[in-house]
């Protein structure tokens, strides 16, 4: 700490570690899962995570399938749903991971 001649109260030094942390936090990609839901809204409903992805600030995304080692690089994360089948009993959606105190009902979008 340094003490200014005009003020007897010490001023804290620049906290570089905090600045670096905030830089990383503010520029980190968002993590999401690609989820296939079977018979949603019924008693037989089930869901599986079929891929994981990172979405960047420019809206581009990188996704990797859980099985099969398939990878995609897309202009927008939402485009990944085109690569997974849809039938009458199957729907695909992205589920965005957020802070633990976030409302989970606002973190996913059906496709």
pLDDT tens digit sequence for 27-81 = 999 999 999 999 988 999 999 999 999 999 999 999 999 998 899 999 999 999 9
Asked whether residue 2 is domain-assigned, the answer is: no
Nearest to 32 by CA among 98, 86, 89: 98
Asked whether residue 20 is domain-assigned, the answer is: no
Q: Is residue 102 pLDDT above 60, yes or no?
A: no
Spatial neighbors of 47 by CB under 8 A, at least 6 apart, are 35, 36, 37, 38, 40
Asked whether residue 9 is domain-assigned, the answer is: no
Binned at pLDDT 50, 70 and 90, residue 111 comes out as: very low
The C-alpha atoms of residue 36 and residue 108 are separated, in whole angstroms, by 12
Asked whether residue 82 is domain-assigned, the answer is: yes
The C-alpha atoms of residue 104 and residue 89 are separated, in whole angstroms, by 23
Asked whether residue 58 is domain-assigned, the answer is: yes
């Amino acid at each position: 700490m340094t003490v200014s001649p005009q003020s007897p109260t010490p001023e804290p030094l620049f906290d570089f570690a905090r600045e670096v942390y905030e830089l990383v936090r503010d520029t980190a990609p968002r993590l999401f899962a690609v989820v296939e839901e079977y018979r949603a809204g019924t008693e037989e409903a089930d869901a599986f995570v079929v891929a994981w992805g990172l979405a960047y600030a420019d809206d581009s995304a990188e996704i990797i399938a859980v099985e099969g080692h398939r990878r995609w690089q897309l202009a927008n994360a939402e485009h990944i749903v085109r690569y997974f089948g849809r039938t009458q009993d199957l729907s695909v959606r992205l589920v965005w991971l957020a802070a633990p105190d976030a409302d989970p009902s606002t973190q996913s979008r059906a496709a």
